[in-house]
Amino acid sequence: MGTTATRLTLDYAFHIIGLEMVWLKVLEPNAAGRRAYAKAGFQEVGTMRSAGQWRGRRCGEVVMDAVPEDFPAISVFEEKDERLL
């Protein structure tokens, strides 16, 4: 469910709004979140060391980004628009 929602958000950002990049930060120990974001199209681009807290301990925050070139699929929003015409 989270991956689908993230993919739809990227679809909207790139194909409807026309953004050139979307980025996020996720706590380094959050392996499930990092996998879900990667599956949705984000790539890890760096780590901000000791920038966050996980279960009471300092940890890094992983910076991830997505660009339109990595998300070439036809927009689901455009497909719906064409069907309505």
Residue 45 CA to residue 77 CA, distance in Å, equals 28
Tens digit of pLDDT for each residue in 7-47? 899 999 998 899 999 999 999 999 999 999 999 999 999 99
Distance, CA of 69 to CA of 51 (rounded, Å):
29
Residues in the chain: 85
Q: What is the pTM of this model?
A: 0.81
Architecture of the CATH domain 2-84: 3-Layer(aba) Sandwich (3.40)
User: pLDDT tens digits, residue range 58-79?
Assistant: 999 999 999 999 877 677 776 5
Answer positive or negative: Cα dihedral of 31, 5, 71, 11: negative
Quickly count: other Cβ atoms within 10 Å of residue 59's Cβ: 17
Enumerate the domain spans of the chain: 2-84
> Does 81 score more than 80 pLDDT?
no
Helix, strand or coil, per DSSP, at residue 27: strand
Average pLDDT, the chain: 88
